[in-house]
Amino acid sequence: MNAPTSFELPKAGLVVGERYLTTGSGGVHQHHYAADGRVQAEVPIAGASEVDAAVAAAKAAFPGWRATRPAVRRDLLFKLAELVEQHGEELAWIGARENGSPISGVRMIPGKFAAWTKYSAGFADKLEGRVVSTFQDDSVLDYTIPEPFGVVALILTWNGPLMGLGMKLGAALAAGNTIVMKPSELTPFTAWRLVQLAEQAGFPPGVLNLVTGGAEAGEALVRHPDVQKISFTGGVSTGQRIATTIAQSLKPALYELGGKSANLIFADADMEVAVRHSARQPLFLAGQGCILPTRILVEEDVADEFVERLIAEIRSIRIGDPMDAATELGPVIDARSQARLLGLIEAARARGDGKVALGGGKPAGVNPDGYYVEPTVFTGVDPQSDLAQNECFGPVLSVMTFKTADEAVEIANGTEFGLGAYIHSTNLPRTLQLAHRLEAGSVQINGAPTARENAPFGGRGLSGHGREGGHDGMMEFVRVKNVAIGDGALWRR
């Protein structure tokens, strides 16, 4: 892996129509670099007035964008995807600086953004309604039209800023909506750079708008009467808060929330694959991923051997500075998250939720001012404990055992979440039966990848609802109108 070239962190700010604003009425957020704790930028925060202006710009741009030929929308999105690929090294660098993810991991993200955006772009000129069956009454022609909503708010979290945008932006725009994006105040830089690239691609002003800020800006955005649909990625309590805020207006929203995904390891699994996947996947982004397999359920007969190999594999993962190309595990996002995780580990240990078999504190050999947390493995975890039931959103794994497939399903389905589930077994009929029984939005068998652009991604239960990706993800950004043409026969005397 090549060492990363150094780039400048762009000035983050707001984009309202054709205006780029580097100040906001909501004040300033001091942005810290997660690997050393130092302030690396000041980020302007939008107030309600800038949110109003961004929504107004998106509303003004909507009629023109909706009337733009779908093939033109498609080509603009393709151009944006190509520009992101061309600036891939720079965007990966910005991504690593803004949330502390290792450059070795985020180098593939610009390519993922491009893949998602091109996939959605392809729908722009293929979104079609259907002719509704009128077999009982041949005097009626009945058909459907997929229509854009208008102004759509895209509210994002910080763990994968460019990936999160890729999962929403192309689909929203291909369908003919205009957008106001609100990245997390912790990761405002990628979105800012992306809007510049969109301008370079030739998107008209007002089609993509950007507001920075936290809860206040997000609240003003979702509450805004001219925002017709919300696509939200974030925590459960914020999702619940948004649902309450928009309850009166009944406006539709997609919620991509947290998870506590179970990873079932059967004795007949390919152990090399199962061990590597179970050790490395949950530590991607320092464990700060919604669908990571953080609850490991292993068949009792092979549990000792599996745990031994799991711990050896995790020990081999290189912790360090995100900009070092050899680093595989970086810091968590901020000081608050680091303190929260260390507290959560200590509380789980004190309660006896499980036994700490690895880690549990701050790692040695890294910058002590960085927000690092050791990869931590709890074994013998009680499935009903706080540790097993709640999302940690950090490098913390819980291992439990099961005797039968029925017991594994019961434990796996025994939380309020339902985002992902994973199975490792060479018994194909069994994996397929289990896939039906697991309460999750997606089931990955034998290390299959997640979050592919052509497959639906999303949860059930407290993991939210709605889908991103695939045809289902595209349909989230249209509303279907039904038109029926009669011949007046019903009303003739």
User: Binding to ligand NAD by residue 99, rule CB under 6 A?
Assistant: no
**How many positions of this chain bind ligand NAD (CB under 6 A)?**
28
User: Binding to ligand NAD by residue 285, rule CB under 6 A?
Assistant: no
The only residue of 50, 299, 321, 391 in contact with ligand NAD, by rule CB under 6 A: 391
The only residue of 99, 233, 338, 376 in contact with ligand NAD, by rule CB under 6 A: 233
Nearer to ligand NAD, 310 or 451 (CB): 451
Distance in Å, CB of 51 to ligand NAD, minimum: 11
The active-site residue out of 290, 392, 439, 468 is 290
User: Binding to ligand NAD by residue 218, rule CB under 6 A?
Assistant: yes
- Calculate the dihedral angle through the C-alpha atoms of 315, 320, 323, 326, rounding to the nearest 10 degrees: -40
Nearer to ligand NAD, 297 or 333 (CB): 333
Contact status, residue 242 vs residue 251, Cβ threshold 8 Å: no
Token representation of residue 248: 């009166």
User: Binding to ligand NAD by residue 211, rule CB under 6 A?
Assistant: no
Residue 422, number of CB atoms within 10 A of its CB? 31
Determine the Cα–Cα distance for residues 474 and 13; give it in Å rounded to an integer: 29
From the CA atom positions of the chain, what is the Rg in Å?
24
Q: Is 300 considered catalytic here?
A: no
The active-site residue out of 50, 98, 185, 256 is 256
Nearer to ligand NAD, 104 or 463 (CB): 463
Contact status, residue 459 vs residue 419, Cβ threshold 8 Å: yes
Q: Residue 44's Cα: distance from chain center in Å? A: 24
Q: Is 256 considered catalytic here?
A: yes
**Long-range contact set of residues 241-245: C-beta below 8 Å, sequence gap at least 24:** 242/155, 242/218, 245/219
The only residue of 172, 264, 275, 290 in contact with ligand NAD, by rule CB under 6 A: 290
- Residue 167 contacts by C-beta under 8 Å, 6 or more apart in sequence? 116, 233, 451, 457, 468, 469, 473
Across 164-259, the runs of DSSP E, i.e. the strands, are 178-182, 208-210, 227-233, 253-256
**By CB under 6 A, which span of 25-33, 91-99, 114-122, 216-224 interacts with ligand NAD?**
216-224
The only residue of 1, 108, 132, 215 in contact with ligand NAD, by rule CB under 6 A: 215
Q: What is the DSSP letter of 457?
A: B
Query: Contacts with ligand NAD in 417-446 (CB under 6 A)?
Result: 419
User: Binding to ligand NAD by residue 238, rule CB under 6 A?
Assistant: yes
The only residue of 95, 258, 395, 461 in contact with ligand NAD, by rule CB under 6 A: 258
User: Binding to ligand NAD by residue 415, rule CB under 6 A?
Assistant: no
Distances (CA, A) of 339 to 49, 191, 362, 365, 372: 34, 28, 10, 19, 10
Token representation of residue 237: 């309590």
Contact status, residue 424 vs residue 269, Cβ threshold 8 Å: yes
User: Binding to ligand NAD by residue 393, rule CB under 6 A?
Assistant: yes
Q: What angle do CA 441, 181, 77 make, to 5 degrees?
A: 80
- Residue 392 contacts by C-beta under 8 Å, 6 or more apart in sequence? 287, 294, 341, 344
Nearer to ligand NAD, 48 or 145 (CB): 48
Determine the Cα–Cα distance for residues 287 and 265; give it in Å rounded to an integer: 19
Distance in Å, CB of 397 to ligand NAD, minimum: 16
Residue nearest to ligand NAD (CB): 218
- Site string (153-192) toward ligand NAD, x via CB under 6 A: --xxxxx----------------------x-xx-------
- Site string (116-155) toward ligand NAD, x via CB under 6 A: ---------------------------------------x
**Residue numbers at the binding site for ligand NAD (CB under 6 A):** 155-159, 182, 184-185, 214-215, 218-219, 222, 233-235, 238, 241-242, 256-259, 290, 391, 393, 419, 459
Active site residues: 256, 290
